[in-house]
C-alpha cells in the first residue's frame, strides 16, 4: 500500500490496470509535457523482466538512452525507484533533444518570416524545415565570408535564439523582447569588424608562410605552427583582442637550432612595433625569413616521424627532434615516449624520460 501511495505521489497519471500490480498505464510528466507509457511486470514483479511500451514520440526522445534505462531496470529495487530514474533521464533527454516536433504557436512563424523579410532573404544561407534553425551569412570589410547559426525556441521573440559563431572570443547577444533578427545581425557585423585585425594577421601568416598546424584552421583558431627550417618551427599563440601585441612563442626543434632563436627573441623583444604586421615583427625579431610558399614545398621541411613513418598521428605533426646536429630526425611525442619506455636503458625523472635516439642512438 505504501508503494502505491509513493507511485501516486511521483507519477499521479500512471494508474494500475489490475489488482495484482502487474500492469500500469498512463502518462509520465517531464518539463510540463505528458508522454503515454505502459508498464507490464511479471507475476513475481521483477523489474529486470518488465516490458515497457510507450508512444513513438517518447521512444524517439529516449532512443539514445535505452542502455541506461535497461541498466536502471536491473538495479532499481521497485517500480517507484525506476519511475523516478525514468523521469530524471527524460528530463536530460528533453534538454539535449532538438524538439522540432513541438507545435509552435502561429505567431512564432508569422513573426519569424516577417523578421527574415525585413533582414533580407539574400542574407539567409539556410533554414531548416521546422523553421527552428536559421543560418545567416555576412561578409566583413575585407571580403571574408562568415556564418552565424541561430537556434530558435518556441518562445521567440520573447527569448533570444542561441547563436553559434566561428569566433575566437565569446559572442554574447544583447536582446530585448522587441528586438528582431536584424538586431542580432547588426551585432554580428560589429563583432566581425572588432576581429578584423586578428584575422588580417593570421591570414597574412597563412598566405605567406608554411603553416604546419592546424592544416585547415577555422576562424576561431588562435595558434599557428609556422615552419622556420628543416624540422624547426615556432608555435605562435595570438591574442584575438590584442593581435598587434607580441604573441606567445614556443619553438620546436633540436636545441642547437632553437636556442639561438630563443636568444634573438629575448634580446629583440623591445623592438616589437605594434604599427607593423605581426609577421613582419616576427621576421625582424628573429632575424629570419620564413620559408616562402612561392619557392619551397611543404615537403621540403615537413618530414615524417622516424618511428611510425607518418607525418600526421591523430592530427598532430612530429614535434620532437633529435638534438644531435648530424641527425635531427623528428618524431611524434607519443611515438617517442612509447619507444623510450620500451628501452631497458631509458630512465625517467618526474615527467621527463631520457633515452637513445631511435635513429642515431645518441
Task: Quote the CA–CA distance of 135 and 151 in Å, as a whole number.
Answer: 9
Give me the pLDDT at residue 302, please.
65
Give me the pLDDT at residue 67, please.
85
Profile the chain (362 residues) by mean pLDDT over runs of 10 residues.
67 82 86 85 84 85 85 85 89 71 80 94 92 94 95 88 93 91 96 96 94 89 90 91 94 84 94 95 93 70 74 76 77 85 82 82 78
Output the pTM of the full model.
Answer: 0.62
3-state helix, strand, coil in the chain (%, to 5): 35, 20, 40
- How buried is 313 (Cβ within 10 angstroms: 0-12 exposed, 13-18 middle, 19+ buried)? middle
- How buried is 254 (Cβ within 10 angstroms: 0-12 exposed, 13-18 middle, 19+ buried)? buried
Give me the pLDDT at residue 100, please.
45
Query: Which domains does the chain carry?
Result: 1-99 (3.10.110), 106-194 (3.10.110.10), 209-301 (3.10.110.20), 303-361 (3.30.40.10)
Task: Quote the CA–CA distance of 309 and 18 in Å, as a whole number.
Answer: 69
Task: Quote the CA–CA distance of 177 and 283 in Å, as a whole number.
Answer: 51
The CA-atom distances, in angstroms, between 207 and each of 231, 233, 292, 360 are 20, 17, 9, 36
Amino acid at each position: 500500500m505504501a508503494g502505491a501511495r509513493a507511485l501516486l505521489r511521483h507519477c499521479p497519471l500512471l494508474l494500475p490496470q489490475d489488482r495484482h500490480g502487474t500492469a500500469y498505464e498512463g502518462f509520465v510528466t517531464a518539463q510540463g509535457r505528458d508522454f503515454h507509457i505502459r508498464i507490464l511486470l511479471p507475476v513475481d514483479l521483477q523489474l529486470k523482466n518488465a516490458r515497457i511500451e510507450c508512444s513513438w514520440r517518447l521512444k524517439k526522445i529516449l532512443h539514445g538512452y535505452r542502455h541506461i534505462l535497461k541498466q536502471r531496470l536491473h538495479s532499481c529495487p521497485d517500480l517507484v525507484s525506476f519511475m523516478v530514474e525514468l523521469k530524471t533521464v527524460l528530463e536530460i533527454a528533453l534538454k539535449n533533444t532538438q524538439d522540432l516536433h513541438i507545435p509552435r504557436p502561429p505567431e512564432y512563424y508569422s513573426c519569424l518570416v516577417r523578421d527574415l523579410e525585413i533582414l533580407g532573404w539574400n542574407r539567409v544561407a539556410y533554414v531548416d524545415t521546422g523553421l527552428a534553425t536559421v543560418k545567416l551569412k555576412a561578409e566583413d570589410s575585407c571580403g571574408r565570408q562568415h556564418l552565424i547559426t541561430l537556434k530558435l525556441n518556441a518562445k521567440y521573440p520573447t527569448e533570444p535564439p542561441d547563436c553559434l559563431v566561428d569566433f575566437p572570443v565569446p559572442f554574447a547577444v544583447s536582446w530585448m523582447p522587441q528586438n528582431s533578427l536584424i538586431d542580432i545581425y547588426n551585432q554580428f557585423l560589429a563583432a566581425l569588424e572588432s576581429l578584423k585585425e586578428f584575422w588580417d594577421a593570421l591570414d597574412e601568416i597563412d598566405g605567406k608562410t608554411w603553416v604546419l598546424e592546424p592544416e585547415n584552421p577555422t576562424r576561431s583558431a588562435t595558434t599557428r605552427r609556422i615552419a622556420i627550417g628543416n624540422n624547426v618551427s615556432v608555435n605562435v599563440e595570438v591574442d584575438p583582442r590584442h593581435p598587434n601585441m607580441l604573441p606567445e612563442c614556443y619553438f620546436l626543434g633540436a636545441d642547437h637550432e632553437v636556442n639561438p632563436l630563443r636568444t634573438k627573441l629575448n634580446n629583440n623583444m623591445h623592438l616589437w612595433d605594434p604599427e607593423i604586421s605581426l609577421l613582419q615583427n616576427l621576421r625582424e625579431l628573429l632575424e629570419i625569413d620564413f620559408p616562402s610558399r612561392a619557392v619551397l614545398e611543404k615537403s621540403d621541411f615537413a618530414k615524417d616521424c622516424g618511428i611510425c613513418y607518418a607525418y600526421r598521428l591523430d592530427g598532430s605533426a612530429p614535434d620532437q627532434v633529435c638534438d644531435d646536429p648530424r641527425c635531427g630526425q623528428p618524431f611524434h611525442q607519443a611515438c617517442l615516449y612509447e619507444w623510450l619506455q620500451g628501452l631497458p636503458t631509458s630512465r625517467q625523472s618526474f615527467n621527463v624520460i631520457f633515452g637513445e635516439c631511435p635513429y642515431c642512438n645518441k
